């Protein structure tokens, strides 16, 4: 065996001994002596190898190909260093970018506003199996929350591995998040942004606002799960952190005690005089009122509204320009909103079926300010001779021409010269829009919740609700429907026919 072969064998042995020392150090970290012997022997063998091949290595390093290779290796190492540095800075500063079209992975402005006003620590404990869909949903959302504020701390507990912790918090179902702050505890069972944000509001607030739905006059009931019921509205309000109650002023005269907002959801019978007096006292003492009144109903509220300069009706609003194509002429698809806190930045249309106009006379109530929230178009009119079996038609001198206010916000001013005032009332000439059949329509939920939030003086909730990955459909009005029909049925087939004839004639000439 020549010396060159021996040196090569020592090089292979040195590399093998060095690699063996690394493996032994990871497998049995306590065998330090063995590791040192292996690494020392390997280092000695490699030293002999390099010494025996010094002239060959020197010649290799002086070649042009080696220099180019070294430059390439240095460039790769430099790029790797840049990538490592960028990742290190991103981790240190927690960089986040959301390039999705709907900003689905970003927190809603409502949530950001809530998190920015937290003054006390909130501890959140999530009881869920790691790796499940609900666990991942909680983790992704709460990581965004903790990124915004340091007031929130999150812990994850597997109730099957730690049953004592589950019993301590009284956890009865999987995928439950417990919010704790200032001695108050609230449980959430759905990993949605709306649920988490409302839980933070409730657990950090001094008290939750109390909403009362009046009953006893044929109103829509919050316990009714049918199409006309308000059970969906109640669920939406409760997820916003409100306390929702219901009752009759005749059966319970103290119903309005500790109430913040009274809601009249489509009464169909007249309110008694003593009920109106209690409502008047409630509003005078600072209570707020949300009135949803359907047309062609008798409520006995006309004279009471006249004291505020408000009148509803007469007639049903018909708007040929703003309605669902092919639908009822009285089912309005409203897209005209004013610059008010309730409707600011609204983009989704509002569906208001069978609606009466709302008007205001400032001369009869100088201390009241009225702001229209939604408007009909200039082509609308109030149909007073409405027949469901016939298409409504405008009659000059009998029907009133629009545009109309379809909903209004009422404030009571400290003096007639004061342009602003305290919120007192929101009046809408329809109640069906907030029923189970229509509340999930784009725009209806935001409009209803924003109206309640404005009345309840919950400024942090007056924004588009936390975003969900829902599809907002395009709903054309009659003019748009005619255009789409013409394009789909006539224009496209005609163009294809012309193109086919052109190609056929050119081929015949060949």
Say how many CA atoms lie within 13 Å of 469 toward its Cβ.
Answer: 6
330 within 8 A of 355, measured Cβ to Cβ? yes
* pLDDT at 84 exceeding the cut of 70: no
- Please state the rounded mean pLDDT for residues 269-289: 91
Q: Which residue has the higher pLDDT, 391 or 468?
A: 391
Q: Which residue has the higher pLDDT, 240 or 294?
A: 294
152 within 8 A of 143, measured Cβ to Cβ? no
Work out whether strand 336-337 and strand 405-412 pair parallel, antiparallel, or are unpaired: unpaired
* pLDDT at 466 exceeding the cut of 70: no
CA–CA dist 120, 115 (Å, integer):
11
* pLDDT at 358 exceeding the cut of 70: yes
List, for residues 221-278, the tens digit of each pLDDT value. Answer: 999 999 999 999 998 888 677 889 999 999 998 899 889 999 999 999 999 989 999 9
> What mean pLDDT, rounded, does the chain reach?
80
> In the prediction, which pLDDT does 408 show?
92
Evaluate the CA torsion angle 351, 292, 232, 285 in order and state its sign.
positive
Residue ranges of the alpha helices (H) in 109-191? Answer: 109-116, 133-148, 163-169
386 within 8 A of 392, measured Cβ to Cβ? yes
Above pLDDT 70, what percent of the chain?
A: 77
CA–CA dist 282, 425 (Å, integer):
12
- Please state the rounded mean pLDDT for residues 327-345: 81
Highest mean pLDDT among 19-23, 38-42, 99-103, 453-457 belongs to: 453-457
CA–CA dist 227, 221 (Å, integer):
11
Q: Which residue has the higher pLDDT, 344 or 354?
A: 354
- Per-residue DSSP letter, 221: P
CA–CA dist 42, 252 (Å, integer):
92
* pLDDT at 130 exceeding the cut of 80: yes
List, for residues 177-214, the tens digit of each pLDDT value. Answer: 999 988 878 888 778 887 788 788 878 876 778 999 99
> In the prediction, which pLDDT does 373 show?
92
In the three-class reduction of DSSP (H, G, I as helix; E, B as strand; rest coil), residue 201 is classed as helix
Tokens for 45? 């063998």
Read off the pLDDT band of 13 (50, 70, 90): confident
Chain position carrying tokens 């009714």: 224
Q: What is the pTM of this model?
A: 0.63
> In the prediction, which pLDDT does 470 show?
47
> In the prediction, which pLDDT does 231 show?
93
Say how many CA atoms lie within 13 Å of 205 toward its Cβ.
Answer: 18
Q: Which residue has the higher pLDDT, 3 or 97?
A: 3
CA–CA dist 146, 78 (Å, integer):
34
- Please state the rounded mean pLDDT for residues 327-335: 77
- Please state the rounded mean pLDDT for residues 66-81: 63
Closest CA to 360 of 397, 306, 302, 314: 306
Above pLDDT 90, what percent of the chain?
A: 22
Read off the pLDDT band of 468 (50, 70, 90): very low
List, for residues 421-432, the tens digit of each pLDDT value. Answer: 677 899 999 999
> In the prediction, which pLDDT does 267 show?
93
- Identify the helix (H) or strand (E) that includes residue 231: helix 231-239
Closest CA to 432 of 353, 349, 319: 353
Read off the pLDDT band of 407 (50, 70, 90): very high
> In the prediction, which pLDDT does 68 show?
61
Of 235-249, 272-286, 374-388, which gets the smallest average pLDDT? Answer: 374-388
Work out whether strand 210-214 and strand 261-265 pair parallel, antiparallel, or are unpaired: parallel
> In the prediction, which pLDDT does 62 show?
62
């Amino acid at each position: 065996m020549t010396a060159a072969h021996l040196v090569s064998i020592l090089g292979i042995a040195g590399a093998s001994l060095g690699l063996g020392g690394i493996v032994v150090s990871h497998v049995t970290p306590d065998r330090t002596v063995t590791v040192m012997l292996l690494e020392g022997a390997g280092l000695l063998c490699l030293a002999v190898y390099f010494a025996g091949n010094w002239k060959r290595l020197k010649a290799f390093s002086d070649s042009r190909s080696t220099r180019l290779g070294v430059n390439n290796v240095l460039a790769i190492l430099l790029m790797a260093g840049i990538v490592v540095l960028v990742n290190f800075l991103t981790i240190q500063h927690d960089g986040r970018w959301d390039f999705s079209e709907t900003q689905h992975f970003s927190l809603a402005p409502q949530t950001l506003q809530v998190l920015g006003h937290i003054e006390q620590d909130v501890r959140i404990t999530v009881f869920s199996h790691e790796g499940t869909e609900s666990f991942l949903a909680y983790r992704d959302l709460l990581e965004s929350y903790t990124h915004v504020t340091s007031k929130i701390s999150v812990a994850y507990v597997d109730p099957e591995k730690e049953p004592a912790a589950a019993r301590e918090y009284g956890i009865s179902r999987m995928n439950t998040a417990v919010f704790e702050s200032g001695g108050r505890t609230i449980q959430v069972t759905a990993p949605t942004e709306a649920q988490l944000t409302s839980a933070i509001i409730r657990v950090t607030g001094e008290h939750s606002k109390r909403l009362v739905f009046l009953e006893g006059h044929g109103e829509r009931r919050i316990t009714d799960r049918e199409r006309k019921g308000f059970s969906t509205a109640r669920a939406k309000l409760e997820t916003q952190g409100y306390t929702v109650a219901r009752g009759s002023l005749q059966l319970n005269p103290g119903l309005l005690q500790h109430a913040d907002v009274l809601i009249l959801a489509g009464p169909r019978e007249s309110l008694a005089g003593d009920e109106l007096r209690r409502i008047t006292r409630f509003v005078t003492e600072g209570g707020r009122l949300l009135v949803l009144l359907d047309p062609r109903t008798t409520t006995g509220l006309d004279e009471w509204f006249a004291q505020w300069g408000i009148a509803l009706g007469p007639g049903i609003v018909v708007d040929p320009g703003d309605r669902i194509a092919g639908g009822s002429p009285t089912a309005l698809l409203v897209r005209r909103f004013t610059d008010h806190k309730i409707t600011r930045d609204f983009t989704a249309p509002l569906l208001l079926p069978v609606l009466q106009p709302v008007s205001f006379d400032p001369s009869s109530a100088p201390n009241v300010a009225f702001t229209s929230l939604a408007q009909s178009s200039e082509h609308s009119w109030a149909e007073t001779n409405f027949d469901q079996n016939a298409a409504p038609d405008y009659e000059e001198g009998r029907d009133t021409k629009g545009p109309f206010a379809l909903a209004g916000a009422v404030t009571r001013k400290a003096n007639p010269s004061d342009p602003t005032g305290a919120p007192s009332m929101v009046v809408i000439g329809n109640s069906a829009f907030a029923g189970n059949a229509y509340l999930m329509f784009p725009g209806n939920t935001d409009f209803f919740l924003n109206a309640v939030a404005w009345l309840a003086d919950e400024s942090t909730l007056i924004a588009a609700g936390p975003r969900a990955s829902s599809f907002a459909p395009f709903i054309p009005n009659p003019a748009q429907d005619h255009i789409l029909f013409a394009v789909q049925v006539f224009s496209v087939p005609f163009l294809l026919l012309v193109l086919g004839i052109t190609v056929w004639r050119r081929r015949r000439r060949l």
